[in-house]
């Protein structure tokens, strides 16, 4: 016997409509069913929201690293690779990675930030390389996750493209696959006519990080931020765009763009490159910059290593301005991504004078990052809706079949909603979040930050309503 689906109706005086206006009404949410909207407000509601609360489209975050992967059988590894791997060692590595951060914990973090759908990177010990492994891990995520997850297939030399999908190039990543030159060209060639995304954080071409540290002797906090600076980002983006042109790709997405000049380089290249150039702006780069890092407590600043590096204040301001102006121009191919990277705290510690894993656990604080833009930089709620919900949803829908239309607050669309109080003060409580997100390794780079605004109340993912004011809990 199938379980009955419970319907929940939510009444609000601040519903974000597609035409930039706010409306009063009642929204009907049922798991697995499309959204129903009654703008007359004639229905009786189960949840009456206060006047301070807003209802926007659920956020689509196209860039997370959840780490967990399926555990293959010995026969699967023999047939689908990787070749020459020790099976027992592979399984041990998978189990270690899975123990550090689960799909469920990642999804609870997303829900806490008002995120209804995520796109997950495939940098796992048994990554989604090739059609079989991609489908196998996509199924693993779909079956075990409380929210929809789009698994991006991983590109590797010799692995055939997955037609109609967006391959993820880890060859552009320092410390990742480490692919350069002809090997990377051959990999791109396999994806001719298809879409590709990449991380723009390669190392300097003429100097190792050890040599750089010996020459410059920067403060430890600024080591990465001076080594992986704006110049390395521009060089990586230029190189990758040329590779994409040679290979005849249909689309090339630069992920976590960190500076105004880097974003402008992508926008300028659209006039000369024969393929689409969508742009993903790194959400935490609109909050953190080098100058802000230096004013934080040292132990907090050390959690904020990023690749590419955090921008200077001037480059951050230009990123904020160009992003705002671009989305207001009607550009539908620019959007935010968090690059939620849940490394445990121990992996970020210094070893031999060098910082560890970059990135932070920040998807649960998406709302507070939006609040920074609303409070200080003149962004409107509709600007945020476009960058965080509408545009990324439409991009992801090119590569994944959602059950209903996405990126629109209309009758019959997929019921994905972010419900929040944008002006409520917020303070990071690491102990509470550790429990709420079922994440024993939780830490926050926003710990101790003052003046944060925005409190998530409910998040709806494909009709299922979650109370996220405390521990995310489903109500239907």
Query: What six digits make up the tokens of 83?
Result: 């070749």
Token digits of residue 99: 């123990």
CA-CA-CA-CA torsion for 442, 445, 446, 447, nearest 10 degrees?
A: 60
* Residue 37 lies inside a defined structural domain of this protein: no
The candidate with the shortest Cα–Cα distance to 469, out of 456, 460, 450, is 456
Task: Give residue 305's domain range.
Answer: 58-410
Tokens 């697995």 map to which residue? 32
Q: Report if residue 122 sits inside a domain.
A: yes
Would 423 be classed as within a structural domain? no
pLDDT at 300: 74
Q: Give the model confidence (pLDDT) of 402-419 as tens digits.
A: 999 999 999 999 999 999
**Rounded mean pLDDT, 8-34:** 97
Between 354 and 47, whose confidence is greater? 47
d(CA 111, CA 471): 10
Q: What is the pLDDT of residue 353?
A: 77
CA distance 93 to 124: 9
According to the model, what pLDDT value does residue 177 have? 55
CB atoms under 10 Å from CB of 68, counted, come to: 24
Per-residue pLDDT of 271-320, as tens digits, reads 999 999 999 999 999 999 988 888 776 667 778 888 888 899 999 999 99
Nearest to 141 by CA among 170, 171, 167, 107: 107
Lateral strand order in the sheet of 195-199 = 166-169, 195-199, 251-257, 279-282, 334-337
Q: How many CB atoms within 10 Å of residue 305?
A: 24
**Residue 19 contacts by C-beta under 8 Å, 6 or more apart in sequence?**
none
Q: What are 190's two structure tokens?
A: 């396999």
56 SS3 class: strand
Q: Decide if pLDDT at 346 tops 60.
A: yes
Cβ–Cβ < 8 Å for 145, 103: yes
Contacts of 21 (CB under 8 A, 6+ apart): none
Q: Do the domain assignments include residue 426? A: no
Tell me, what's the pLDDT at 178? 60
d(CA 312, CA 262): 13
What is the spatial distance between Cα 314 and Cα 301, in angstroms, rounded to a whole number? 19
**pLDDT score for 295:** 79
Beta carbons within 10 angstroms of residue 251's beta carbon: 18
Taking the C-alpha atoms of residue 244 and residue 242, their distance in angstroms, rounded to an integer, is 5
Tell me how far CA of residue 273 lies from CA of 112, 199, 344, in angstroms: 39, 19, 40
**Strand order in 59-64's β-sheet?**
59-64, 115-120, 149-151
Contact criterion met (CB below 8 Å) for 285 and 387 = no
Q: What is the mean pLDDT of the chain?
A: 93
| 25 in a structural domain | no
SS3 110: helix
Nearest to 244 by CA among 175, 177, 308, 198: 198
Q: Which helix (H) or strand (E) holds 24?
A: strand 22-29
Check whether 25 has a pLDDT greater than 60.
Answer: yes
Residue at 437 is within a domain: no
Question: In this predicted structure, which of 126-140, 255-269, 293-307 has the lowest mean pLDDT?
Answer: 293-307
In a domain, 471, yes or no: no
Q: In the chain, what percentage of residues exceed pLDDT 90?
A: 77
The more confident residue out of 45 and 299 is 45
The pLDDT tens digits for 47-102 are 999 999 999 999 999 999 998 999 999 999 999 999 999 999 999 999 999 999 99
Q: Cα separations (Å) of 428 from 262, 366, 447?
A: 31, 13, 5
Q: Give the total number of structural domains in the chain.
A: 1
- Residue in this structure with the two tokens 């953190």, named with its chain if needed: 288
DSSP 8-state code for residue 345:
G
Helices (H), 176-219: 181-190, 209-216
C-alpha dist (Å) from residue 212 to 182, 218, 223, 272, 354: 26, 9, 9, 34, 12
User: From CA 342, how far away is CA 142, in angstroms rounded?
Assistant: 20
pLDDT given at position 424:
97
- The CA-atom distances, in angstroms, between 206 and each of 198, 216, 463 are 21, 15, 52
Model confidence at 1: pLDDT above 50: no
**In this predicted structure, what is the pLDDT of residue 160?**
93
The pLDDT of residue 174: 59
Using DSSP, how many helices (H) and how many strands (E) does the chain show?
A: 16, 17
Per-residue confidence at 338, pLDDT binned at 50, 70, 90?
Answer: very high
Give the model confidence (pLDDT) of 186-244 as tens digits.
999 999 999 999 998 888 888 888 999 999 998 877 888 888 888 899 999 999 999 99
The CATH number covering residue 208 comes to 3.20.20.140
Give the H/E segment covering residue 281. Answer: strand 279-282
Nearest to 393 by CA among 372, 411, 374, 409: 409
Instruction: Provide Rg for the chain, Cα atoms.
Output: 22
In a domain, 21, yes or no: no
Output the pLDDT for position 179: 66
């Amino acid at each position: 016997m199938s379980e009955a689906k419970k319907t929940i109706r939510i009444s609000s005086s601040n519903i974000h409509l597609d035409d930039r206006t706010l409306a009063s009404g009642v929204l009907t949410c049922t798991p697995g069913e499309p959204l129903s909207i009654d703008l007359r407000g004639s229905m009786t509601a189960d949840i009456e929201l206060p006047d301070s609360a807003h209802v926007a489209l659920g956020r689509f975050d196209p860039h997370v690293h959840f780490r967990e992967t399926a555990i293959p059988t010995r026969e699967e590894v023999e047939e689908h690779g990787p070749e020459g791997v020790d099976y027992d060692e592979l399984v041990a590595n998978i189990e270690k990675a899975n123990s550090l951060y689960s799909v469920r914990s990642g999804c609870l973090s997303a829900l806490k930030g008002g995120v209804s759908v995520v796109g997950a990177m495939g940098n796992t010990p048994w990554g989604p390389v090739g059609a079989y492994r991609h489908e196998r891990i996509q199924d693993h995520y779909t079956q075990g996750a409380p929210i929809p997850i789009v698994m991006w297939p991983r590109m590797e030399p010799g692995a055939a493209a997955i037609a109609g999908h967006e391959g993820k190039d880890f060859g552009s990543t320092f410390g990742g696959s480490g692919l350069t030159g002809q090997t990377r060209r051959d990999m791109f060639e396999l994806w001719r006519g298809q879409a590709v995304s990449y991380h723009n954080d390669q190392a300097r071409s003429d100097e190792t990080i050890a040599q750089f540290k010996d020459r410059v002797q920067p403060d430890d906090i600024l080591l990465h931020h001076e080594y992986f600076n704006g110049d390395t980002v521009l060089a990586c983006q230029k190189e990758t765009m040329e590779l994409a042109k040679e290979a005849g790709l249909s689309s090339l997405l630069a992920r976590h763009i960190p500076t105004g000049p880097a974003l402008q380089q992508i926008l300028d290249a659209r006039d000369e490159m024969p393929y689409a150039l969508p742009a993903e702006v790194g959400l935490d780069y609109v909050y953190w910059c080098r100058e802000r890092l230096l004013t934080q407590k040292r132990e907090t600043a050390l959690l904020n290593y990023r690749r590419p590096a955090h921008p200077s204040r001037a480059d951050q301001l230009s990123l904020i301005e160009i992003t705002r102006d671009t989305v207001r121009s009607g550009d539908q191919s620019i959007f935010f991504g968090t690059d939620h990277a849940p490394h445990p705290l121990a992996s970020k510690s210094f070893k031999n004078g060098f910082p560890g894993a970059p990135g932070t656990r920040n998807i649960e604080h998406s709302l507070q990052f939006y609040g920074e833009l609303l409070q200080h930089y003149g962004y409107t709620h509709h600007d945020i809706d476009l960058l965080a919900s509408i545009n990324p949803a439409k991009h992801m829908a090119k590569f994944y079949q959602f059950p209903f239309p996405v990126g629109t607050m209309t009758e019959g669309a997929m019921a994905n909603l972010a419900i929040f109080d944008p002006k409520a003060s917020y303070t990071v409580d690491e102990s509470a979040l550790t429990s709420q997100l079922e994440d024993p390794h939780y830490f926050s780079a926003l710990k101790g930050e003052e003046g944060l605004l925005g409190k998530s109340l409910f998040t709806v993912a494909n009709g299922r309503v979650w109370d996220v004011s405390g521990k995310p809990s489903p109500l239907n």
